Amino acid sequence: MRKTSGRVTLPAESGQEQIIKHLIKHWGVDAIRDSDGTRLSQDLLDMGFPVYSTICLVRAEQSWPREHGEDLPQAFLMTPRQTFTGRPLKFELMNDWSTDKYRLNENDDPKLWWEVIDRTTGEVVPGDDWTYADGCVTLTRGQDYHEYTVNFLVMQIWDSTSMYNALTNKWTGEKVMSVDPFKPEVYEHLMHYFDGWLERHPNTSVVRLTTLAFMFMLIRDKRQRCCIRDWCGYCEAVTPAALREFEKVKGYKLRGEDFIQAGRYAHTNIPPTSRMLDWMDFIQQFALRFGKDLVDKIHAAGKKAAMFWGDHWIGAEPFDPKFASMGMDIIIGAAEDGVALRRVSDVPLNVVRELRFYPYFFPDVFKPGANPIEESRKNWMKIRRALLRMPVDRIGWGGYLSLAAKFPDFINHLAGITDEFRAFMDRTGGKEAWTAPIRVGVLNVWGSLRSWMVQTGPIEKFYSGREDVMEFIGTNIAECLAGLPVKVGFISFDEILKDASRLNDFDVIINEGFMGSAWSGGDIWKTPALVAAIRRWVHNGGGFIGIGHPSAAEHEGRVFQLADVLGVDLETGKEIQISEAVSQCEPRHFILADAQQGRSRISDHSYVFSRYEDAAILDNSGKHVHIAAKITSGGRGVYISSLPFDWTNARLLQRAIFWSARKEQEFTKCHSSNPATDLAWYPSAGVYCIVNNTNEQQTTDIYDHAGQWLRNLSLAPNEMVFVENN
Amino acid sequence: MRKTSGRVTLPAESGQEQIIKHLIKHWGVDAIRDSDGTRLSQDLLDMGFPVYSTICLVRAEQSWPREHGEDLPQAFLMTPRQTFTGRPLKFELMNDWSTDKYRLNENDDPKLWWEVIDRTTGEVVPGDDWTYADGCVTLTRGQDYHEYTVNFLVMQIWDSTSMYNALTNKWTGEKVMSVDPFKPEVYEHLMHYFDGWLERHPNTSVVRLTTLAFMFMLIRDKRQRCCIRDWCGYCEAVTPAALREFEKVKGYKLRGEDFIQAGRYAHTNIPPTSRMLDWMDFIQQFALRFGKDLVDKIHAAGKKAAMFWGDHWIGAEPFDPKFASMGMDIIIGAAEDGVALRRVSDVPLNVVRELRFYPYFFPDVFKPGANPIEESRKNWMKIRRALLRMPVDRIGWGGYLSLAAKFPDFINHLAGITDEFRAFMDRTGGKEAWTAPIRVGVLNVWGSLRSWMVQTGPIEKFYSGREDVMEFIGTNIAECLAGLPVKVGFISFDEILKDASRLNDFDVIINEGFMGSAWSGGDIWKTPALVAAIRRWVHNGGGFIGIGHPSAAEHEGRVFQLADVLGVDLETGKEIQISEAVSQCEPRHFILADAQQGRSRISDHSYVFSRYEDAAILDNSGKHVHIAAKITSGGRGVYISSLPFDWTNARLLQRAIFWSARKEQEFTKCHSSNPATDLAWYPSAGVYCIVNNTNEQQTTDIYDHAGQWLRNLSLAPNEMVFVENN
């Protein structure tokens, strides 16, 4: 293959000039960057490449937070429950939390901001019934044997990212503090500091904001353990200053209990209250203004603005229509799989899209005896599969190059990835691949705001993976979808309730998730207008695919409110006296054609049973239904109990989509028969791209865009080949 | 062993006189009975034994039901849901049900009794919006794409037991019809018929009522399949006559929707509404009056009255305090295990207690090549274990003796059981065994009314066992409890809410069941007074054992409302962002001492996690907790995820009870160390009885009533031995 160059950002590092010169050719690097903890020498800056310089403004300057302890980021914490037994009950507020990270906020009046709550009744305790002194709240009057908690405010005295690096990567530098940018004087200070920073970085071509204003939710307990974690959580943007402003803007006051929702930290997997949605909007407005001011300064300095979608991204939601106003030039996302790629490639903005691949060159992975190639190749197989459908512009890595340089095989392996990425972009023209005429809509509470986000349900909690890496176990339809030749969108329940004709934007709707979650939807399924709208749409020809606990809310003798469409329902112990319907088993159904050899699923016990005699049972363990298909009037429904990502399950979902869209006859258009392989067609470039997703040799039959057999193809492990479309 | 005699009831049958004469000696028979479908010849009646004669009065006489079609038992059925799509919607009411069993009730005004319900909203459709004609309800006005059902009344034209025998045992006789005894004229007719029956049975010593007035809930669909089944369900006592009388007595009118509760047939596993409790009381009052009138007649005829606790027992609840007024002399229960024995032995009445063992001598079991001994021995091992704790007076069998006689090994096997039963009664004096000073209370919605009833949760539905036999799979604490040396009672939530001091009747409370069920309790756990009362009682020294989903109701950030006592909570997908507590594993805990070799449990995935650092984790699969123990102030809590019955799990529950009652030091009193064996002490008889519950040889250490080691003992398979207490 002709050696190519470009589209690659290298993490440079002072002292690594020799290897960098080598990699510029070997990887075809055309831009260099610094990382958290690395600096670029003048030698590197003089090489003449575009330079990405990283800054997280809220933690860039350390004098302000040290001098203005009241301007730190804050958070509401909740004490553990304690039982009132007739005697005064003492809550040592900081007892259970990392005192390295948090300091009690005693500046703002506890009686105004804190709440003591009777968790047995849910009622707020009157302020007269408790006192505060010396780090302790004392409940003086309570109800015997009720449990109580205190919601209280803390200052964050150690930036979450700095703390993470200290704990995970053994960084020993000073504990970085971040500031809360909300107050006008802090805001002004940060802008002023940024002006100076821009002046001090004349060689910088791209300012890589990492990220903006507010950290996602990541709370550490007394053992420094990350005990609460929500990458999309808005609970660490809280300060009394922001809450006061919120009251002015929105006309009502939020309480601690809005962030600790009935005893639970409010997070992405729980359907949000309307108050939380107001709060999110409020924070978004602020983050957009903050971001726009920075971008304007960057542009004024003749540089480009990049946002690394990472730590402090709360409020800056690339899928929020408001986001475009910020004027960002480049969006960079960390990517370990196809979902992460689609999260960047599908952002509805006119920007340059760049992926930062894993593993990060950090000591937790690059230690003696490790095999970073394995992780990298596994990631690349998933990323490449999704890339075939929706490309990005650039790729890159981050961290300490000096660490990665000790693994020469890894360096060569990345040269292979960079060459392959460029070859793909050159041959296909970097255009979106052809898709079948099927528009799939993923339906949940969040809609497009949380495009390409994954939830895996309770199983996630019981999985012991690497805390810092999103390893998805359990049902992962997003990853399955990421590489399918269909159009994928996201839609919320509210959008349907406001305008049911929005359903007509889609041929197939997928509702997936655990009962009660924001993804499945929870009690919104008791809304007659919602159920009737979807049912009408199905009767008129729509396809509805339910995975896990679709349309689940106990109401009028049903758990799945669309059991009539799905054919099945969930047994929760309330109908064990009532037998299941007698249905036909159809193990040779179209949907299963590539899954005969068995498929992965989470458990043999789905507790889902057939409700309708005309539901076809495609896969089951005894009476536990795993896949069902039902034709309802004009439309079709499919139920799947769980769908972990693998090549077979992805193909199964593809077949379920085609079947429910009544497009079985188009299934072989632009098709590769072996599920371990994928084929994509680029009409304007006149080329098919076929990939082998596995580490083994594969053979496959490929079909052209008319659905005609083209030929049999043999692919080396991990191979990508192009076939001209004559 | 000296040949003994007595305490055994034989199912006699004309034509079997020879074998009967043999069995009288071989089994030590001292009473004979007829069965459904068998008759006693004069020869048999002349043998001079007490004779049990079976009668189910409501189906004894066939002319009345055939001449008075309006006096049949009825039931509310619900059609399947149908979707309204703008056109009139037709419900063919009988389409889905057995027309052999049911006939539509067109006598009583449909508009008065039936209901068309919008299942999407839960609202009742106005009578003007539907019409009835020719077996069809037509909905003329509805809401588009809402689902609708019709609740309607049917007459039962085939008695459930008769139908069961036709389907299962291929009986080919006439289809028996039963009558509803509620109307005064029917009642009078039945009493008159019964007078004649008594006159026609001069040789009968015991009238075996099988049972009284109303069948339990057992609905058959168009395939004759039993699709709804609830042995304790009150939904087949319904008739317009009874509903009219109910309105007079209770002051309000019930609707079909009281029996089809929000689209679900109301049954024992769902917490009852107060209206359903009123209905149960109303039916009980009737059944008691009916029963008392029969018993009075029986006594007047110089005979004894026995109630076989079987088919038509609804309303006649032996654990209902009202029951005693009926004056029954003998209670007979079918018994396949220890729970069934305790259901009879623990009835709070001064009666003779008799068990009818399985297998019933019916062709479904006694067919060529079958091995009825296996089922019988398995049952006897469980029954004997419970018998050791709480004896009954008599045992017996039922069905066709002619069938059993073809299995001579089985006949000999029963001789062994009868001898062993008599030996046990003779040596122990037939007294209750010594128990440890621990009073265990099983807490659920029903309390003592449903003593020794088992629910196994959703797993029950997905089990494919014999429809006619209660084979318990899944958690079965009742069977575990049935053979433990502790006092067992049952208590309802309402009893605690009325008088919290009722908790002091117990040392240990067990709450077991699936979330939302009548057994776990459902939303009643959101009641502060309930939670506070139990918490107070635990703090004051009580022991609380939770199994499955104890105290479960989602409220204020908890699922298990007594998580503080249990140490653990259930993850429902709403706290997956929140980590579990860091707890100590204690695999050598007192509770586990007999379970080192592993124990049976339903699933490796409990989805239960540690909430409290001071919860000790005794058994787990990764982060899934299976057993936890926690000390809370003065009391103790134990969590167990599932507890199928086996000898090891029974011993584990025993240890959990002793530990939570803080009586570990008394554990070896009257103890046999090998969990496959049991020891019971009879102080007044001065004897220990030790049994080997298995088909293998066992050795064990036995301990006396002071907890002192007595000796090592070797037991043959299934052996029972007695050791004098000198």
User: What is the rounded CA–CA span in Å between residue B292 and residue B305?
Assistant: 10
| Cα separation values, B168 from B172, B233, B526, Å | 11, 22, 45
What's residue B139's pLDDT? 98
SS3 breakdown of chain A: % helix, strand, coil, rounded to 5?
A: 30, 25, 45
Percent of chain B with pLDDT over 90: 85
Is pLDDT of A219 > 70?
Answer: yes
* Greatest mean pLDDT range, A260-274, A598-612, B454-468: A260-274
The pLDDT confidence band at residue A466, using thresholds 50, 70 and 90, is: low
Q: How many Å separate Cα A633 from the centre of its chain?
A: 36
**Interchain contact, A270 vs B574, CB within 8 Å:** yes
Please count the other Cβ atoms lying within 10 Å of the Cβ belonging to residue A715: 22
What is the nearest CA distance from B149 to chain A, expressed in angstroms?
11
B:488-517 residues touching chain A, CB 8 A cutoff: 513-517
The pLDDT confidence band at residue B113, using thresholds 50, 70 and 90, is: very high
Task: Select from A220, A540, A576 the residue whose CB has the most chain B CBs within 10 Å, as the one to mutate to test that interface.
Answer: A576
The closest of A374, A57, A329, A363 to A188, measured between CA atoms, is A57
User: Looking at residues A165-187, what average pLDDT do you find?
Assistant: 92
Q: How far apart are the first and last CA of chain A?
A: 22
User: What is the rounded CA–CA span in Å between residue A26 and residue A34?
Assistant: 19
Q: A147 near B564, Cβ under 8 Å?
A: yes
User: What is the rounded CA–CA span in Å between residue B266 and residue B257?
Assistant: 9
Q: Is the C-alpha dihedral spanning B244, B248, B249, B255 positive or negative?
A: positive
Q: A36 near A161, Cβ under 8 Å?
A: yes
Q: Which of chain A's residues have a Cβ under 8 Å away from the Cβ of B268?
A: 577
In chain A, where the domains are located: 8-61+181-227+272-427, 73-156+234-267, 439-666, 671-724
The ipTM value here is 0.95
DSSP string, A395-443: EE--B-HHHHTT-HHHHHHHHHHHHHHHHHHHHHTTPPPP--S-EEEEE
Is pLDDT of B470 > 60?
Answer: no
* Whether A584 contacts chain B with CB within 8 A: no
Percent of chain B with pLDDT over 70: 98
For A278-311, the pLDDT digits (tens) are 999 999 999 999 999 999 999 999 999 999 998 9
Is pLDDT of A484 > 60?
Answer: yes
Q: Which two tokens stand for residue B193?
A: 């018929």
Q: Which residue has the tokens 């810092």?
A: A468
Is pLDDT of A142 > 70?
Answer: yes
What's residue B593's pLDDT? 92
Among A113-127, A177-191, B449-463, where is mean pLDDT lowest? Answer: B449-463
Residue A55: its H or E element: strand A51-55
Is pLDDT of A432 > 60?
Answer: yes
Please count the other Cβ atoms lying within 10 Å of the Cβ belonging to residue B615: 28
E-strand ranges in B236-378 read: 260-261, 264-265, 304-308, 330-335, 352-357
DSSP string, B254-292: --HHHHEETTEE--TTSPPPHHHHHHHHHHHHHHHHHHH
E-strand ranges in A136-179 read: 136-139, 147-156
Q: B55 near B62, Cβ under 8 Å?
A: no
Among A344-348, A437-441, B222-226, B636-640, where is mean pLDDT lowest? Answer: B222-226
**Residue A207 phi, psi dihedral angles, 5° rounding:** -90, 120
Task: Select from B116, B120, B560, B611 the residue whose CB has the most chain A CBs within 10 Å, as the one to mutate to test that interface.
Answer: B120
User: Looking at residues A661-671, what average pLDDT do you find?
Assistant: 97
**Interchain contact, B120 vs A228, CB within 8 Å:** no
Q: Which amino acid is at A161?
A: T
What's residue A468's pLDDT? 55
Q: A424 near A720, Cβ under 8 Å?
A: yes
The pLDDT confidence band at residue B170, using thresholds 50, 70 and 90, is: confident
User: What is the rounded CA–CA span in Å between residue B637 and residue B539?
Assistant: 10
Q: B227 near B87, Cβ under 8 Å?
A: no
What's residue B520's pLDDT? 97
B:266-285 residues touching chain A, CB 8 A cutoff: 267-270
The CATH number assigned to the domain with range A73-156+234-267 reads: 2.60.40.10
What's residue A43's pLDDT? 86
Is pLDDT of B67 > 70?
Answer: yes
Of B230, B516, B573, which is closest to A458 when you measure between CB atoms?
Answer: B573
Residue B302 burial (10 A CB sphere; 0-12, 13-18, 19+): exposed
User: What is the rounded CA–CA span in Å between residue B459 and residue A607?
Assistant: 8
CATH entry, B73-156+235-267, from 3.40.47.10, 3.30.70.100, 2.60.40.10, 3.40.50.300: 2.60.40.10
Is pLDDT of B48 > 60?
Answer: yes
For B530-570, the pLDDT digits (tens) are 999 999 999 999 999 999 999 999 999 999 999 999 999 99
Is pLDDT of B69 > 70?
Answer: yes
What's residue A170's pLDDT? 84
Same fold, B8-63+169-233+280-428 and B73-156+235-267: no
DSSP category for residue B668:
T
Question: How do beta strands B130-133 and B136-139 pair?
Answer: antiparallel
Q: Which of chain A's residues have a Cβ under 8 Å away from the Cβ of B575?
A: 264, 461
What's residue B158's pLDDT? 97
Chain A residue with minimum CA distance to B520 = A573
Q: Which residue has the tokens 């998730």?
A: A513
User: Looking at residues A555-580, what average pLDDT do you find?
Assistant: 94
Q: Which CATH architecture has domain B8-63+169-233+280-428?
A: Alpha-Beta Barrel (3.20)
What's residue B422's pLDDT? 97
Question: How do beta strands B31-33 and B51-55 pair?
Answer: parallel
Percent of chain A with pLDDT over 90: 85
CATH entry, B439-666, from 3.40.50.720, 3.40.50.880, 3.30.465.10, 1.20.20.10: 3.40.50.880
Q: Domain B671-724: which topology?
A: Immunoglobulin-like (2.60.40)
User: What is the rounded CA–CA span in Å between residue A332 and residue A344?
Assistant: 7
Is pLDDT of A472 > 70?
Answer: no
User: Does domain A8-61+181-227+272-427 match CATH 3.20.20.80?
Assistant: yes
At A671, is the secondary structure helix, strand, or coil? strand
* A584-585: strand order across its sheet: A487-492, A439-444, A508-513, A543-548, A635-640, A624-632, A616-621, A584-585
What's residue A470's pLDDT? 55
What's residue B454's pLDDT? 83
What's residue A467's pLDDT? 55
Residue B139: its H or E element: strand B136-139
Is pLDDT of B76 > 80?
Answer: yes
User: Looking at residues A115-134, what average pLDDT do you find?
Assistant: 97
What's residue B106's pLDDT? 95
Out of B118, B311, B507, B678, the active site residue is B311
Q: Is the C-alpha dihedral spanning A186, A187, A189, A193 positive or negative?
A: positive
Among A571-580, B289-298, B312-321, where is mean pLDDT lowest? Answer: A571-580
**Residue A668 phi, psi dihedral angles, 5° rounding:** -85, 0
Among A328-337, A401-410, A442-451, B587-596, where is mean pLDDT lowest? Answer: B587-596
Q: Which two tokens stand for residue A531?
A: 């159920």
Q: B706 near B669, Cβ under 8 Å?
A: yes
User: Looking at residues B19-33, what average pLDDT do you find?
Assistant: 93
The pLDDT confidence band at residue A510, using thresholds 50, 70 and 90, is: very high
Q: Give the residue numbers of A annotated as catalytic, written as ranges.
A: 311
Please count the other Cβ atoms lying within 10 Å of the Cβ belonging to residue A494: 14
User: What is the rounded CA–CA span in Å between residue A483 and residue A678?
Assistant: 8
**Packing angle between helix B408-428 and helix B17-26, nearest 10 degrees?**
40
Higher per-residue pLDDT: B434 or B602: B434
**Interchain contact, A263 vs B83, CB within 8 Å:** no
